[in-house]
Each structure stands twice: as structure tokens, then as C-alpha cells.
Structure 1
Amino acid sequence: MSMDLFSIARSGILAAQSQLGVTSNNIANVNTEGYHRQVAIQGTSTSMRLGNNFYGTGTYVQEVKRIYNDYAARELRIGQTGLSAAEASYTKLSELDQLFSQIGKAVPASLNDFFSGLNSLADLPSDLGIRGSVLNSASQLAQNLNQMQSHLSGQVQQTNDQIESITTRINEISKEMAQINLELMKTPGNDAQLLDKQDALIQELSQYAEVNVIPLENGARSIMLGSSFMLVSGEVAMTMGVTTGDPFPNEPELTYSLGGSELKADPAKLGGQLGALFDFRDNTLMPASHELGQLALGIADAFNEMQSQGFDLNGELGQPIFTDINDPVIAAGRVGAYSGNPGTASLSVNIDDVGALSGSSYELNYTSAGTYELKDMKTGAVTNLTLNGNTLEGANGFSINIDAGAMAAGDRFEIRPTANAAANIGVVMSDPKGIAAAAPKITAGTGNSGSTSVKLVSIDDRSAANFPVTDSELTFTLDTSVNPPTYEVFDVNGASLATGTAAGTPPQISAFGFTFEVDGSSGGSESFTFDLSFAPGDNTNAVAMAKLSDSKIMNNGKSTLGDVFEKTKLDIGSQTKSAQVRAGSAEAIYNQAYARVQSESGVNLDEEAANLMQFQQAYQASARIMTTANTLFDTLFSSVR
């Protein structure tokens, strides 16, 4: 029996040693990120029969088990993905909110300064010092818009860099995961260290995107990102890539490898930091840039239009203060053609009515001959456009020109009417005398229909006979029932001076030292009286310019120029606050999932300390059995000597 006691004691000592080793390893790794607690599972050795009885022969360690709850781990990954997405959104929105609140405040401030200068000019319209100050204010306003757009473009680039950096890290994780899978497949049993490393990589991956885990043999796992595409398939690592944006190169897109081909990934299906960054760039940052462009277009168009309706200090018709909003280079930059287009058409966008613009982006589809569909990418509303010559008409506030080439069925274009306007706005006037503070007097007849208007195009010769001035006005009666319209001119006494036909498109009339344009058609007779007198002290047009500060000329008559910027700023502030709330909620969900994992798989030092004492006592007790067995053996040996 003493020999049996030796064997039993030895098994107890070895089992206690194993338990002490596992417990010590747990304690040593209490601060190791991703470590899962291990336990040694003991079993009873095969019993031995003596006579009619069975006697135990000791114990052994069946396995060292890694404590892992698949459901809890999955909930933690989901919580991590949600938290990372919410934190990324909140961080980016906070940066944008600060940009609009701190640097962006210069835009409305300089706009107010510009209007203040115009009010001063209205008081002293011939003062060259005030005129110079107004031009300086206009330049500062344009520069602040340029600077704000530069900061927004910098945020776009920063976001693109983050996307590329995350994509690089995902590819590194993919390779590491594939290598771990290979080692697990080759190694019998489950290597707890490899499994911990595998789990840590999956947990990190869940920061960047939604992760779906597919279990394989021997602990290996395949990984899908966002239920969209396979990233790791057994020992094979797939790759993600960042490719040039289509149709706009500075907005990179994600790709993934599949069977030797590169396919586009849909960021909306990814979640995590990647999904949040794409969502921020495409649905917050770019719209903010477009709305800033909408403001720039509104400023340039409104004041250039007012200039064209007034006289400068030299008595000439006013010229633009700001860059032409339909400059050919700027117009071409508002269109992006998709790389897969079968056609060869090159397009540009002309702004026809800034007040009708919304800051939206559009997708133009040429589906078949004569069918041009324009889809608002924000609202989803579809408008069918009409081709008039080489111009597509029917959009809200803009028209699309086919400048070269031909459209083919399947062609797609993205239209951004307000894109880059804030970057391109500038002051083109250098002479303060050029500000058109004075104004002509053009009076529509009381019987006019209201559907026809005239616009002064140029003052050709103030010394011309019968040039219209105060007390010598001229009245033009237009017959718009014919195309082009015909006209008859009457002096202040009602005597007919001349008749003629308008020329050109749109129709223009040149007579008695000036030229004006006819817009609209009533199908009947319309009359307009012209008084083109000029006096350096006239402030009529300067007053009209100053009143633009309170005029609702934007968003279909719903907003002033200042309102456009304020709305964008408030929208971003509201989004930031909502993102903060979402981040707080996501953190609470993550902490709950993390606490559950830690309660099951984490190391509890109090529990391990108790185990240490328990296994130490077991070791000592087994050693005592061995001492007892040795004493019995010595007694037996002495009795037979």
C-alpha cells in the first residue's frame, strides 16, 4: 500500500504544481491587455481493484482551459465598433464646430464690415477714401472665404489620411491573423497565447469596422468586415486599398481584393472608425464646403448684379467687384464625370439663379436618347431636364452645358453647383472709382404685364442726340408678341423718335447712346421709361447695395446672405451635440460589455490569491502523504531485517 501512497502523493504534488503554475501565470498577466484567465481542470486517475473494492490511484490535470465566452466577446466587439464610430464622429465634428466658431467667425464679421462700408458710402458716395475702404472690406471678405475653404479642404485631406492609415493597419492585421490561423491549424490543441493574440487583433479590428467572425478548426477564424467582404479566409489574407475618388479624385474610395480583382467597398456598410470617417467627409464636411460656396456665390452674384445696374464715379455702367461666378474654369470644376462613362461629353455648369440654389449635389444620368435625369443626392428628388441646343435646362438655379463630345446611354456625372466657389472668389476691381453708387432710373409702364423686364447693358455715348436725362426721358414701347421684339421710341412729349427691331440672343436694343437687354415675353405691348442722368452725389445704388444685408435673396427667398453661414454653423453645432450624446451612450454600452468579459475572462487578484493558498495547502498535504508513505515503508523494511 505504501507504494500506492507514493504514487497518489506524487500525482497530488504534480497536480498542485500545475495549479500553482496556472494561478501564478494568471497573476503575472493581470495587466496584460487581451489576456484571458486560465484554469487547470483536474480529473481522477483510473481506480484500481483489489478484491471486491476499488481504490483511487490519484489525480491528474486533464487540460489547462482558457476561459472564453463567445457571446460576451461578440457583444464586446459590437460595443467597441459602436464606441469607435461614435467617438470618431464626435471628434471630427468637434474639430469642425471649433473651426466654424473660431476661425469661421471672421466670415460674418467681414461681411458686416463690408455692409458697414457701403452704408458709409451711401452717406458720401463721391468720397474716394470711403470707396477705397469698401474695396478693402470686399477683399478681406473674399480672403476670409478663401481661408475658410482652405481649412475645410485641409480637414478633407486630414480625413483622407486617417482613412488611408486605418486601411494600412487593417491590412497588417489581416496578415497577422492569417499567420496565426496557419499556426493554429498546424498545432494540435489550442495554444492559449496564440488565441489571446488572435482575439486582441480581432478586438482592435472591431475599432475600425464591424467584424463578423467565422470559427474554423483548431481555433482558427475567418473574418468578414461589415458583412460586406471577406478580409481573412483561413490562412489567406485579403487586402483593402484606397483608390482615387470617382468622379472627384480628392475623395478617395475603398477597395478590396476578390479572386484577383479589385472591387469597391461600400463604407456605409462598414461601421466603426472607417464608416464614421467616410460619413463625416461625405455627409457633413463636403456639404459644409458646398454651403460656404453657396454663400460665396450669393455675395459675388448679388454685388456684381447691383454693379451692373448702377453708374460708377466716371458715369459709366458699373463693372464687377468680385470674380465672375460663371468663369469657364470655375464652371467646368462643378462637374465630375465617372470613369466608366461610355460617352465622350465634357460638361460645365452655369449658375442662372443663385437664389434658387440649395448647396446640394446632384447626379446626372443619361439613360437613353433625349432622357436626362437629374437626381438631388440629398432629397432623392428626380427632375427631367430638357436639351436646348447644347444646354440642359430645368434644374433649380443652374443649367448644364455640353461643351464638347457626345453623351451616350449610361453616362453619369456628379454636379456640384456651389463647389469651390469659396476658394475661387476674389476681388477683380482695383479702382475705387469703379464702385457704382449712382443708379439710372428705369420705370416700367403702369399697364405692363410684369412678365417682361429690361436691363441696362452699357452706356455707349452720353453726348448722343436725345440721350435720356432728367426732363428729357425716353420711353420705349416694346412689342413682345414677335420674335425678336420690335420697338418704338417716344420723347418726353410723346413724339415718336425712332422704330426698330431688337437683335441678338437675348435680344438687345441699342439706340440714343445706350444699350439695354429685353428679358421675358408677355406676348403684348410693354413700355419702359429711361432717365440715365448721372450725378457724382447720387447714392441710389449704394443704398440698394447696403440693403442687401437684410434682403432674403438666398434659398428661394428664405434666407439673407448672413443666414446662409449661420445655418451651416448651427447645423454643425447641432450635429456635434448629438454626436456627443451618441458617444456617451456608446461608451455605456461598451463598458457594460467589457465588464461582463472581465467578470468571466479577466483576472481577479483576490480570487487568484485564494486559489494560491488553496493549491499551496494541497501541495503541502500531498507532500505530507509522501512523508507518511516513506515512514511506513521504513517501518516495514526494518521489521523484515
Structure 2
Amino acid sequence: MSMDLLSIARTGVLASQSQLAITSNNIANANTEGYNRQVVSQSSLESQQLGSNFYGAGTYVSDVKRVYNDYAARELRIGQTAVSEAQTTYSKMSELDQLFSQIGSAVPASLTSLFGGINSLADIPDDLGLRDSLLSNAEQLANNVNQMQLQLDGQMGQTNDQISAVTERINEISNELGNINRELMKSQGQDMQLLDKQDALILELSEYAEVNVVPLESGAKSVMLGGSIMLVSGEVSMQIGTKPGDPHANELQITASSGGNSLVVDASKIGGQLGALVDFRDDTLIPAQLELGQFALGVADAFNQAQSQGFDLNGLVGANIFTDINDPTMQLGRVGAFSTNTGNANLGVNIDDVSSLTGSSYELSFTTPSSYELKDSSSGNITSLTLNGNTLEGADGFSIDIASGVLASGDKFEIRPTSSAATALSVTMTDGKGIAAAGTSITSDAANSGNSNINLISIDNRNAPGFPTTGAELTFEIDPSALPPTFEVFDAQGNSMGVAAPYTPPNISANGFTFEINSTAVTKDKFTFDLSFAEGDNSNLVNMAKLNETKMMNGGSTTLTDVYENTKLDVGGKTKSAEISVGSAGAIYNQAYTRVQSVSGVNLDEEAANLMRFQQSYQASARIMTTATEIFNTLFSSLR
């Protein structure tokens, strides 16, 4: 019987040692990130029969388990993805919001200064100092727009760098998970330290993207990103990467590859940090750049058009102050051809009406034999374009020229009419004398159809016979429906100065000046010209000053300042929304984390109580061994 007691006590001591070891390990790892507490399962040894009775034979450790709840862990991963995505979005939006609020505030301020210079010059239109000061104000505005675009380009580069860094870390985790899976297959998923490391890596991975986990019978886990990208399958690790964007190389695309196969991933479905970075770039940063370009085009077109309506200090038609809106430098980046195109067409975009631009981007697709569709990326609206010669017409404020080559069925292009304008905006006028302070007088006849527009191109010779001045105005009767189109000139008394003469649209040169006629009229229209010039005239400057409050953008709904301020307000609104999302996502994550900790986390009070309990159990089992020894010695002594 003493030998049985010794054996039973021995099993109790060994079991208590295991309990003490596991409890001690739990306590030691109470602050270890990703550690799941462990518990020891004890079972009774099979009873032994002695006579007609059965006697217990002690205990043994039947299992050591990780306390792990797969559902709670999944909820934690989902919460981690949501909070990481919200925090990344808020961080990027905050940077952009501060950029518009600080550096960007110089843009509307310099536009205000430019209008202030116009008002000052209107008081003394012949003052050369004020003229040079006005050009300096224009240069400051252009520089501030350039600087703002440079800052947005910096944001683009930084975001792309972050995207690349996240994909590199995802690949590192992928390789580590593949190695862990290989080791777990050897132990059939029994190595708890490896399981903890595996879960910690998967939880970190859920920061970068949405994660779906598929447990395998071998103890390994397959991991998918975004519900569709297999990142780890058993011990095989896939790779996530980046490649130049299509059609814009500086807008990185996400790729998934295994072996020699690679495919482009829809980043909008990835989630987490990676999805937030791509969404920020595509949905906020690029539109902000395009809207800044819209503002730049609006400034250049408004002031250049105003210049063309007046005379400079030399009595000539005002030249451009800013870069022409269709200058080659302004056109860079307006068209991007997709790599899948099979045709060889080279396209160009010409801005026809700045007021009709929206700051949006478009997708142009061609289907044989003659279907040209333009899809607005913001609204999704589709417009059918008409090919007129080599020009596609019918878009919002712009036309598309097929400069060379031909389109093949299925070819697609991304059209960004306002791209690069903020980078290329500059002051081209170098002499303040060129500012057109004096106004011209071109009057449309009341009976006109309203389908003709006149733009004065140049003053060729003020001393030419019949040059129109006050009291000697000239009236041009234009017949655009004739073949060829014709014009006839009448003096101030209504007498014809010659028979109707043909002209080659759109320009007419006569009597010492040249003007442009744009007409769709089918009847004759009349325009009266008084091109008198007076050095003290400020009428054109007065009209130019009114541009500050004129709603000339977005179809006549907003002013120049509104275009910029609306972008700023949109960024601010998104920033506030992102801040709210961080709070709600954080609350959900904290609930999931608390749930996991309540199941798998180490409670030091509970472990301390267990430590005392197992210590007492160990001492009691050791006391049984002592008792058994004493009984054995007593029996042994009685036989001597």
C-alpha cells in the first residue's frame, strides 16, 4: 500500500509541477504582445482493482492547451483593419488639410492682391510703376499656384512610397507565415509558441489589408487579402508588389504574383492601410490636383481674354499676361493611353471653353465603326462624341484632336483636361506697358441672330484709311452662310465702302485691324467697331476688376476664388469625416480587443491564485510521498 501511495503522490507532484510551470509561464508573458494564455488539462489514471474494490492510481497531464477563440480573433482582425484604415485616411487627410490651410492660403491671397493691383492701376492707368507692380502680383499668383502644385506632387510621391513600403512588409509577413506553416505541419499544429507568432503576424497583416484566414488540418493557415488575393497557401508564399500605373506611370498599381504569373489587383477592395493609401490618392489627391489645374486655367483664360478686349499703352490689342491655356506646356498630361490599346493614335486635348470645365477626368473609348464615348469618372455620365475631321467634339469645354495614327476598336484613353495647368502657369508678359487698360467698343446689332462672336485679334495700322474711330465707326455686315463667306463694310452714315468681299474663316483683316468671327448663323449679322484709343482710358481695367466677382467657372455657377475654396472645403469636410471614423473604428476595435483579452489574455490575479493553489497541491503530494516513506520504513523495521 505504501508503494501505491508513493506512486500516486509522484503523479500528483509531476502534475502540480506542470501546472506551476504553465502558470509561471503565463505570468512571465503577461505583457508579451500576442501571447495566448495556456492551461493544463489533468485526467485520472485508470483505477486498479484490489479484490472486489477499485482504487485510484493518481493523475496525469492529458493536454496543454492555448486558450484561443477563433471567432474573437476574427473580430479583432476585422477591427484592426477598420481602425488602421481609418487612422491612415485621417493622417493623410490631415496632412492635405494643413497644406491647403497653411501653404495653400497664399493662392487666394495672391489672387486678391492681383485684383487690388488692378484697382490701383485703374485710378492711374498710365503709371508705369503700378503697371510693373501689377505684373509682380501676377507673378506671385503664378508662383503660389506652382508651389501648391509642387506640394501636391510631394504628397503623391510620399503616398507612393508608403504604398511600396506596405507591400514590402506584406511580403515579409508572407514569407514568415510560409515558414511557420512549414514548421507547424511537422508538429501538426501543436507548437503553441509558433501559433502565437502566427496569430501575431496575421494580426499585423490585418493592419495593412483585409485578411481572411482558412485553417488547415495540418495546423497551417492559408491567408487571403481582400477576399480574393491568396497570399499564403500552406507553406507557399505569394508576393504583393507595385508597377507603374496605367495609363499614368506615377500612380502605382498593386500587383499579386506567384511564380511567373502576375495580375493587377483592384486596390479599392483591399482595405486596411494599403486600401486607404490608394483611395486617398485616387479619390482625393488626384481630384485636388485637377481642380487646382482648373483654377489655373480659369486664371489664365480670364485675364488673357480680358487683355484681348482692350488696348495696351502702345495702342495695340492687349497680349496675354499668363501662359496661353493651350500652350504645349499646359497640355502635358491631358491624355493617357492605356497599354492594352492596339491602335497607334496620338491624341491631344484643346480647351475650348474654360467655363464649361468641371475639373473631372474622363475615359474615352472607341468602338468600330464610329462610336466614341466619353465617360465622366466622377458622375459616370457617358457622352457620345462626334468626329469632325480629325477632332472629336461634344465634350464639356474641350475637344480631342487625333493628331496622328488611327484608333483601333477597344482602345481607351484617360482624359484629364486640367492636368499640368497649375505646374505650367506662368506670366509671359515682361513689360507693364502691355497691360490693356483702355477698352474697345464693338457693338452687336440688335437684329443679330446671337450665334456669332467677335474677338479683336490685332491692330495692324491705326493710320490705315478708314480705321474706325469715334465719329467714324465702321459696321461690318457678315454673311457666314455664303459660299464662300463674305463681309461688307459700311461707314458711320451707313454707306457701303465696297462690295461684299470673301474671307477665309475665322479671321477678317480690313481697314487696319484684324478680328475673329465665330459663327453658326445662317443670316447676316452686323457689328460696329470704334477702336479709338486714349492713354487715360481705364474702361478695360474696370471690366477686368469685375472678374473678381464674376461667376465664370463650372458653367457660370462659381467664381475663380470659389473653385479653389470649394476644393479646400471638400478636403476639410473629408478630414472631419475621417476623424469621426477613427473614433468609431477605435471603439469597435477596443471592444474586440477586450473580448479577446477576456478569453486569451493573462489575468494576473487569477494566475496568482492558481499559483498558490498548485503550490499547495504540490506540497500536499510531496507530503503523501513523505508519509508513504515513513510507512515503508516502519514496516521494514518491524521485520528485523
Q: Give the TM bin, normalised by the shorter chain.
A: over 0.9
Quick one: percent identity of the two aligned structures? 65
Deviates more, 1:391-400 or 1:494-503: 494-503
**Partner of residue 42, structure 1:** 42
**Partner of residue 604, structure 1:** 603
> Structure 1 residue 618: deviation in Å?
0.2
Unaligned ranges ≥5, structure 2 = none
Determine helix, strand or coil for the equivalent of 1:499.
coil
**Partner of residue 630, structure 1:** 629
> Structure 1 residue 392: deviation in Å?
0.5
* 1:482 matched to 2:493: no
Shift in CA distance, 427/189, structure 1 to aligned 2, threshold 3 Å: closer
Would you say the 8 A contact 2:256–2:263 is kept in 1?
A: yes
Shift in CA distance, 528/188, structure 1 to aligned 2, threshold 3 Å: closer
* 1:441 matched to 2:431: no
* 1:206 matched to 2:206: yes
Alpha-carbon RMSD across the aligned residues, in angstroms, is 1.0
Q: Deviations along 1:284-329, whole A, 9 cap, x unmatched?
A: 0000110011000000011111111111100011111001110134
**Partner of residue 12, structure 2:** 12
> Structure 1 residue 241: deviation in Å?
1.0
Question: TM-score, structure 2 length as denominator?
Answer: 0.99
Would you say the 8 A contact 2:473–2:528 is kept in 1?
A: yes
Would you say the 8 A contact 1:502–1:509 is kept in 2?
A: no
**Partner of residue 351, structure 2:** 351
> Structure 1 residue 504: deviation in Å?
2.7
Query: What code does the residue aligned with 1:481 have?
Result: S
What is the correspondence of 1:117-128 to structure 2 with a 5 Å cutoff? 117-128=117-128
Query: What code does the residue aligned with 1:595 have?
Result: T
What is the correspondence of 1:404-419 to structure 2 with a 5 Å cutoff? 404-419=404-419
> Structure 1 residue 555: deviation in Å?
0.5
* 1:515 matched to 2:514: yes
Query: What code does the residue aligned with 2:36 have?
Result: H
What is the correspondence of 1:212-611 to structure 2 with a 5 Å cutoff? 212-258=212-258, 260-506=260-506, 508-611=507-610
Determine helix, strand or coil for the equivalent of 2:499.
strand
Deviates more, 1:482-491 or 1:289-298: 482-491
Deviates more, 1:445-454 or 1:34-43: 445-454
- Count of residue pairs the alignment pairs up: 640
Would you say the 8 A contact 2:188–2:219 is kept in 1?
A: no
Determine helix, strand or coil for the equivalent of 1:497.
coil
* Separation (CA, whole Å) in 2 of partners of 1:261 and 1:239: 11
Would you say the 8 A contact 1:332–1:347 is kept in 2?
A: no
* Separation (CA, whole Å) in 1 of partners of 2:275 and 2:229: 14
* Separation (CA, whole Å) in 2 of partners of 1:294 and 1:204: 41
Shift in CA distance, 367/353, structure 1 to aligned 2, threshold 3 Å: same
Deviates more, 1:486-495 or 1:594-603: 486-495
Deviates more, 1:521-530 or 1:28-37: 521-530
Shift in CA distance, 298/484, structure 1 to aligned 2, threshold 3 Å: farther
* Separation (CA, whole Å) in 2 of partners of 1:201 and 1:25: 21
> Structure 1 residue 189: deviation in Å?
5.1
* Separation (CA, whole Å) in 1 of partners of 2:332 and 2:572: 33
> Structure 1 residue 332: deviation in Å?
4.5
> Structure 1 residue 271: deviation in Å?
0.5
> Structure 1 residue 219: deviation in Å?
2.0
Q: Deviations along 1:579-626, whole A, 9 cap, x unmatched?
A: 111110000000000000000000000000000000000000001101
* Separation (CA, whole Å) in 1 of partners of 2:481 and 2:31: 89
Deviates more, 1:483-492 or 1:410-419: 483-492
Query: What code does the residue aligned with 1:325 have?
Result: I
Determine helix, strand or coil for the equivalent of 1:366.
strand
* Separation (CA, whole Å) in 2 of partners of 1:228 and 1:116: 58
**Partner of residue 178, structure 1:** 178
Deviates more, 1:182-191 or 1:459-468: 182-191
Shift in CA distance, 561/196, structure 1 to aligned 2, threshold 3 Å: same
* Separation (CA, whole Å) in 2 of partners of 1:369 and 1:124: 61
* Separation (CA, whole Å) in 1 of partners of 2:7 and 2:282: 72
Determine helix, strand or coil for the equivalent of 2:413.
strand
* Separation (CA, whole Å) in 2 of partners of 1:383 and 1:455: 30
Q: Deviations along 1:327-363, whole A, 9 cap, x unmatched?
A: 1343242000011100001111100001000010000
Deviates more, 1:441-450 or 1:462-471: 441-450
Query: What code does the residue aligned with 2:337 have?
Result: A
> Structure 1 residue 522: deviation in Å?
2.2
Query: What code does the residue aligned with 2:159 have?
Result: T
**Partner of residue 617, structure 1:** 616
* Separation (CA, whole Å) in 1 of partners of 2:345 and 2:57: 89
Q: Deviations along 1:425-446, whole A, 9 cap, x unmatched?
A: 0000100000111111111112
Q: Deviations along 1:30-80, whole A, 9 cap, x unmatched?
A: 111000000011111111111111111110111110000000000000000
